Amino acid sequence: MKKAMCVMFVATLAAALMPAATAQDSPSTPPMSLAEKVAIPAVPGQAAVMKDDWNPNTKPPNPFFCTPGNCLLYSGDTDVTSPYNNGLYNFNNVGLATDGEVYFSFKGTKASVATGIYGNYFTNATAVGTNPTPVEFRVGVSSGNGGKVVCQTTGTAVYSQYGTGNFGLNSINYWVKKIARPCKLAAKTEYYAEVQPQYNNTSTIGYLEDNDTGSTGNSPPKHACSANGFKATPNNSFFSSTSGSLNFVPTSGSGNICGNGTHGCRGFSWGFNGKASNLVCK
């Protein structure tokens, strides 16, 4: 059974990675999770070209999208050496008739304003896609309940290589440097945010990288940064997909979208910008 499931996964993913032979071909539907229904560990991929990656000579070290003065939170890099490494579909590709929305959770001790947002993706994309890119902040989200949208806006995403690829895909950072309408964030409030790259072809897929570093997700993610008291909330993210008929499904815990609790997704590699103070990276 495991072998058959593995073959089905590889065939489906390969079909999604390959451009359609003709305009008449029916596109293959990519899986929602990179480890979906496959009881095999991830295979560490090849290192991608880095752009302004961590500089060990700076104190603190910062990636290009999270620097002192512009970064409120970066939840940390994915860990491709972990057998629990995974990613969730977080693109909207009209040509594949497939969408996925990952709502990552965070909370801050101080009020602030989000002016930009970004995420790291396992993807076969070779360009940024279609702008504008939608951005959303919600509150009150729970299983099967989308809560309330408190800020819905867009921005122009840019595309840069960052990190290490896996699952035969590259690791790419999508960064909306300036959202059209800054989002006010209240103190001590749990938020659920999303940024969703847009495509319209029959080949491009993209998965928001998780940042688990162990079977329980207790190890701290690499290169995480926070300012103004903001912290990512583990085990509290949700996934929705109109094409997959999924409505705010938990990404962690038994029976979740990422492989019945055995394939990570307790947290994701993302962050957002704003007027920051006291940025601390680890």
Q: Where are the domains of the chain?
A: 2-18+27-42+49-281
Separation CA 183–CA 114 (nearest Å): 5
Contact 272, 105 (CB under 8 A): no
Residue 186: DSSP 8-state: -
Taking residue 149's Cβ as centre, other Cβ atoms within 10 Å add up to 12
Separation CA 89–CA 102 (nearest Å): 8
Both tokens assigned to 244:
């997959």
At residue 37, the pLDDT reads 42
Taking residue 210's Cβ as centre, other Cβ atoms within 10 Å add up to 33
Which ranges of 66-184 does DSSP label H, i.e. alpha helix?
none
Taking only the tens of pLDDT, the chain with its 282 residues reads: 333 333 233 334 544 444 433 334 445 678 888 876 443 444 544 444 344 444 555 555 688 999 888 899 999 999 888 777 889 999 999 999 999 999 999 999 999 999 999 999 999 999 999 999 999 999 999 999 999 999 999 999 999 999 888 888 999 999 999 999 999 999 999 999 999 999 999 999 999 999 876 556 567 788 888 998 899 998 899 999 999 999 999 998 766 788 655 667 889 999 999 987 788 888
Q: Are strands 170-179 and 112-123 parallel, antiparallel or unpaired?
A: antiparallel
Both tokens assigned to 209:
């990288």
CA-nearest of 54, 52, 74, 64 to 279 is 74
Phi, psi values for residue 17, rounded to 5° = -75, -25
Separation CA 70–CA 272 (nearest Å): 9
